[in-house]
Amino acid sequence: MLARRDGRFQALGHPLHPILTDFPIALWSLAFLWDVLALWRGGFWWEVSFWTLSLGLAAASGAALTGLLDARRIGPDDSAGRTVNRHMLLMGTATMIFVGNLLVRGGTGELSGMQAAAAVACTLIGNAAVIAGAWFGGELVFSHGVGVAEQPVRIAPRPEPDTIFERDLPGRERA
């Protein structure tokens, strides 16, 4: 099920890092929604956002670990080297912003004034860094082929059309 092949961690034959990145991205994005609801409705939503951010940080540890292990395979002369450095810098920055966010919140209690504004700003800026970092992660895969298995190109045969037009019937002239 879990295996290490060619220096990469894999699950069921797929690289593990891209699988694990979905969780922190989804949780941190949801935290922004909860922050907006907390600004509007107050109370309970500040606590939901706090725990969502916390779970996102916990999930990010697995994504970061597998990402670092995968990044070791990219040599210093590889064209993907600068891209992987930007990806890691932005994702690390986002993670630190979310850690700071939890410190600004100081717990699960209701926020108000400048504390609430700072917490929401951290969530927004952290998510902006995640988006930029994820874009560089996509560049690693789609432009540099990092983590992509080499497979022969298979071209499927062209399917036969399902529709027969009257002009295609035998004995009809084509215009």
Nearest alpha-carbon partner for 49 in 121, 99, 120 = 120
Nearest alpha-carbon partner for 84 in 131, 38, 138, 129 = 138
Encoded tokens for 26: 């989804």
Distance between CA atoms of residues 97 and 115, nearest Å:
15
The tens place of each residue's pLDDT in the chain, 175 residues long, gives 555 555 566 666 678 898 899 999 999 999 999 999 999 998 899 999 999 999 999 999 999 999 998 888 888 778 888 999 999 999 999 999 999 999 999 998 988 899 999 999 999 999 999 999 999 999 998 888 887 766 655 666 666 656 666 666 666 665 5
pTM score, whole prediction: 0.78
Query: What residue spans define the domains of the chain?
Result: 15-148
Nearest alpha-carbon partner for 28 in 158, 173, 133, 128 = 128
Distance between CA atoms of residues 35 and 49, nearest Å:
6
